[in-house]
Amino acid sequence: MFFDLAGIYKNSILNKPKVVCFIIFLMTVFFASHIPNFRLDASSDTLVLENDNALKFYREIKQQYGSDDFLIMTYTPKNDLFAQSTIDDLIKMSERLMKVNQLESIISVLNVPLINSPPVTLKSLVDHIPTLLDPNINKNLAKKELLISPLFKNLLISSDSKTTALLLYIKPDKANQLLQQKRIYLKKNIQEEPSSNVIKKQLNNINTLYSAHLKVMQNKQAQLITDVRQIMALHSDNAQLHLGGVPMITSDSIAFIRHDLINFGLVVVLFILLTLSIAFAKVRWVVLPLLCCIVSGIIMVGFLGLVDWPVTIVSSNFISLMLILTLSLTIHLIVRYQELHWKYPQVSQFTLVSKTIQKKFVPCLFTTATTIVAFGSLVVSDIRPVIDFGWMMTIGVSIAFLMAFTLFPAALMLLKPGKVVNQKNLTEQLTLSFAKKLIKVQVPVLVLYFIIIAISIFGFRYLSVENRFIDYFKPSTEIHQGMSLIDNKLGGTTPLDVVINAPIEPTIEKRDPNIAEDIEDDFFDEFGFEEDEFNELEQNKPTGITASYWFNPVMLEEVAQYHKFLDKLPQTGKILSLASGMQLINDLEPETKTDNFKLSLIYSKLPDSVKSVLFDPYLSENGNQIRFSIRVFESDKNLKRDELLKNIKRGLVNKFDLKEEQIQLTGMLVLYNNMLKSLFSSQIQTLGMVFFSILIMFVLLYKNISLSLITLIPNLVAASMVLSIMGWFSIPLDMMTITIASICVGIAVDNSIHYVHRFKIEYQLCGDYEQAIIKSHSSIGRAMYYTSITITLGFSILIFSNFMPSIYFGLLTGFSMIFALISNLSLLPLLLIKFKPLGDNTCQPKSIENQVLN
Axis crossing angle, helix 769-795 with helix 827-835, rounded to the nearest 10: 160
284: burial class by Cβ within 10 Å (0-12, 13-18, 19+)?
middle
What is the phi/psi pair of residue 136, to 5°?
-90, 0
Q: Residues near 760 by Cβ (< 8 Å), separated by ≥ 6?
A: 838
Which among 796, 797, 798, 717 has a CA at the least distance from the CA of 751? 717
Give CA–CA dist 98/272, Å, rounded.
49
> What one-letter code names the amino acid at 643?
E
Radius of gyration of the CA atoms of the chain, in A = 34
Sign of dihedral through CA atoms 251, 252, 255, 261? negative
Give CA–CA dist 771/784, Å, rounded.
19
Give CA–CA dist 370/389, Å, rounded.
16
**494: left (phi > 0), else alpha (psi -120 to 50), else beta?**
beta
Q: Are 171 and 104 in contact (CB under 8 A)?
A: yes
What pTM was computed for the model?
0.76
pLDDT along the chain (854 residues), means of 10: 70 92 96 89 62 78 78 92 93 94 91 86 77 89 90 90 92 82 80 78 84 82 91 94 84 78 74 80 89 92 89 77 84 89 89 91 87 78 77 91 95 88 70 88 91 88 78 83 87 90 64 46 50 50 67 91 94 92 84 84 81 87 90 86 91 91 90 76 71 85 90 87 86 73 74 89 88 90 83 78 80 84 92 86 46 43
Q: Residues near 522 by Cβ (< 8 Å), separated by ≥ 6?
A: none
Please name the helix (run of DSSP H) or strand (run of DSSP E) that holds residue 325, with its range, or none.
Answer: helix 318-343
CA angle 371, 377, 383 (to 5 degrees): 130
Which among 143, 93, 155, 250 has a CA at the least distance from the CA of 486? 155
H helices present in 167-283, as ranges: 174-192, 197-234, 246-259, 265-280
Q: What is the pLDDT of residue 516?
A: 46
Q: Residues near 630 by Cβ (< 8 Å), separated by ≥ 6?
A: 492, 495, 496, 497, 498, 566, 572, 573, 574, 575, 667
Which among 16, 805, 824 has a CA at the least distance from the CA of 471? 805
Q: Are 252 and 372 in contact (CB under 8 A)?
A: no
Secondary structure string (H, E, C) spanning 522-578: HHHHHHCCCHHHHHHHHHCCCCHHHHCCCCCHHHHHHHHHHHHHHHHCCCEEEEECH
User: Could you tell me which residues are beta bridge partners of residue 631?
Assistant: 495
Give CA–CA dist 255/20, Å, rounded.
38
CB atoms within 10 A of CB 162: 14
Alpha-carbon distances of 554 from 456, 564, 627, rounded to whole Å: 57, 16, 17
Q: Are 333 and 404 in contact (CB under 8 A)?
A: yes
Give CA–CA dist 711/705, Å, rounded.
10
Give CA–CA dist 318/297, Å, rounded.
9
User: Could you tell me which residues are beta bridge partners of residue 73?
Assistant: 166, 243
Q: Are 488 and 635 in contact (CB under 8 A)?
A: yes
Q: Are 76 and 693 in contact (CB under 8 A)?
A: no
Instruction: Examine residue 194 and say whether the peptide bond preceding it is cis (omega within 30 degrees of 0).
Output: no
Break the chain down into helix, strand, coil percent, rounded to 5.
70, 5, 25
Axis crossing angle, helix 827-835 with helix 804-825, rounded to the nearest 10: 30
